[in-house]
Copies of this chain bind each other. A is one copy, B any other.
Amino acid sequence: MRAMTEPRWLTPAQLAAWVRFVAVVELLPSVLDSQLQRDAHLTHFEYFVLAMLSEAPERRMRMTALASLTNATLPRLSHVVSRLEGRAFVARTPSSDDRRGTEVSLTEEGWDKVVATAPGHVATVREHVIDLLDDRDVADLERIATKMLIRLDPDERVGSRTP
């Protein structure tokens, strides 16, 4: 085949953790999507976009900033924003300072949608994830997820919050 420096397989403990973790990664999105689709006709990603906008100053954000915040590519975000725009949940306006840029803003309808949808979504998150974890688990999960993000998302300076 090709010259490979003897692949280092996972130890039994690592493999056990990986197998379960990857199962969670596979299953969690469909649980979140199902509830949101059923109760609000929204994918989890669409909801997340609206939620991030709802917390932004003036409820508006540049496409690139929103893409980074939602861990999405720009093409993906652009398509989703178009869909949300068609439903009147967001509006696009050209950026005033940089004329290449586009700003997305949450409309009144969009805000109402987030407000109406959030409780059911949080309940799902609690039911399937958070309420199963005690305080120690939560702390451990944050520590581990933070470590992973350093490599998965090198651009996002994980951990540095400008207060």
The stretch of A57-65, A89-97, A146-154 in contact with B is: A146-154
Whether A13 and B142, one on each chain, are in contact in the complex, defined by CB atoms closer than 8 angstroms, is yes
Is A38 in contact with chain B by the CB < 8 A criterion? no
Cross-chain pairs A/B with CB under 8 angstroms, 8 sampled: A8-B126, A13-B138, A18-B125, A25-B28, A27-B153, A128-B148, A128-B151, A132-B147
CA distance A8 to B126 in the complex (A): 9
Q: Which residues 14-71 of A have a CB within 8 angstroms of B? A: 14, 16-18, 20-29, 31, 45, 48, 70-71
Tell me which residues across on chain B come within 8 A of A98, comparing CB atoms: none
Among B10, B21, B125, contact of A145 (Cβ-Cβ < 8 Å): B21
Interface size class of A (residues with CB under 8 A): 35 or more
Instruction: Let me know if A74 is at the binding interface, CB within 8 A.
Output: no
Q: Is the CB of A144 within 8 A of B141?
A: yes
Residues on B with C-beta less than 8 A from A143 are 137, 140
Inter-chain contact A142/B20, CB cutoff 8 Å: yes
Which of chain A's residues 105-142 have a Cβ closer than 8 Å to chain B? 116, 118-119, 122-123, 125-130, 132-133, 135, 137-142
A86 adjacent to chain B (CB < 8 Å): no
The 8 closest A-B pairs by CB, nearest first: A7-B119, A20-B145, A17-B142, A140-B140, A27-B152, A26-B71, A21-B145, A17-B141
In the bound complex, residues from chain B placing their C-beta under 8 Å from that of A133 are 17, 144, 147
The interface residues of chain B lying within 8 Å CB-to-CB of A72 are: 26
